[in-house]
Amino acid sequence: MSGSAEPNPDEPVACELTPGDHRKQSQRWAGLVRDAGLSQERTPDGILLRFRADPAVERELEALVAVENECCGWARWQVRNDRDAVVMQASASGYGIQTLHQMLDRSAG
């Protein structure tokens, strides 16, 4: 399981990745969603993504979430196993919720 401290609503919503690293991270997310994604949904405090249950998918998801926990500390990123899927949930407060919803909207497009 991955996760960080509880999000702080007063903390700015910003990514600390360089533009090049941000592009690579975005491409990795897009590839995982395209190749193994089952569903995506908005939640009241963020987003929930479900992926095919597969050890390689879980490893990639854990790696992606580790980066997110480092660069986007304003949100809480978690990975868990469900019976038939690997689930990633990101939650935040304040402006962070809207930012997570926008991230989901971009990945669906």
pLDDT of the residue at 4: 43
Residue 16 confidence (pLDDT) above 90: no
Q: Can you tell me the mean pLDDT for 17-32?
A: 88
What are the sequence ranges of the domains in the chain?
42-108
Q: What pLDDT, on a 0 to 100 scale, did the predictor assign at position 15? A: 79
Report the C-alpha gap between 58 and 109 in whole angstroms.
23
Q: 89 vs 11, which has greater pLDDT?
A: 89
Tens-place pLDDT, residues 49-98? 999 999 999 999 999 999 998 888 889 999 999 889 999 999 999 999 99
Q: State residue 108's pLDDT score.
A: 59
pTM of the model: 0.82
Binning pLDDT at 50, 70 and 90, where does residue 3 land? very low
Measured CA to CA, the distance from residue 106 to residue 97 in angstroms comes to 14
Q: Residue 2's pLDDT is what?
A: 42
Q: How far apart are CA 51 and CA 53, in angstroms?
A: 6
Q: Are the CB atoms for 64 and 10 separated by under 8 Å?
A: no
